[in-house]
Amino acid sequence: MSEKDYLQDLTEIKSIMNKSTRFISLSGMSGILAGVYALIGAFVGKFLINSYQQGETGIEHLPIHYFEILLLVVASIVLLLSVSTAFLLTSKKAKSNNEKIWTSTTRRLLKSFIVPLFTGGLLCIVLYQYNLIGLIAPFMLIFYGLSCVNASKYTLGNIEYLGMANIITGLIATQFIGYGIYFWALGFGVFHIIYGTLMYTKYDK
């Protein structure tokens, strides 16, 4: 066996192992769109905050409790759109690659991702309960980053770096209370667009 054949065999073996242990159908375009949704959500959120503070649109008459719920609704819509887009585009990519989307690897991936995310979500509810609103955005970034890092062993691409970037951004944001929406836009918006573009260029083209 020549050296060229040997290297080719190693490449094929590595490819087979990756397919059996890693979920490879994550869509780069879904990452880009998630980033776009997040930036739009941040823009809407900032507009609502400015309107509430300046009293120009009538929204300032809302009790603060209801206004905070309104901001949570905006964030929930962004999350719903992002998850729906990721599921649809990833399913489409898996189908075009003749791959099953629901496998043991997918289940391990979801478990690794959801546990830190769910924990962070509960903690954010506690922060809201004790009126520590300024820490919610930083903790969202930190626990989302932990979810990405934890799930990275079951995926291809740069999701680990996306996670680390969000963790660092979240930690920095804890020192700039009141500017959380800007860090939120950076982590969930800009970083997702960069990550999605890299994924799309490397795996989707």
- Quickly count: other Cβ atoms within 10 Å of residue 122's Cβ: 11
How big, in percent rounded to 5, are the helix, strand and coil portions of the chain? 85, 0, 15
Half-sphere exposure of 160 (CA within 13 A, CB side): 7
First to last CA, the chain: 33
The domain spans of the chain are 28-87+105-204
Per the listing, tokens 């159908």 go with 25
Distance in angstroms (rounded) separating the CA atoms of residues 109 and 103: 10
pLDDT tens string for the chain (205 positions)? 555 555 554 454 444 444 444 555 567 888 899 999 999 999 998 888 888 777 766 676 777 777 778 888 888 899 899 889 888 888 887 777 777 777 777 888 888 899 999 999 999 999 988 989 889 999 999 999 999 999 888 886 678 999 999 999 999 999 999 899 999 999 999 999 999 998 888 776 6
**Number of helical H runs and strand E runs in the chain:** 8, 0
Q: What is the pTM of this model?
A: 0.81
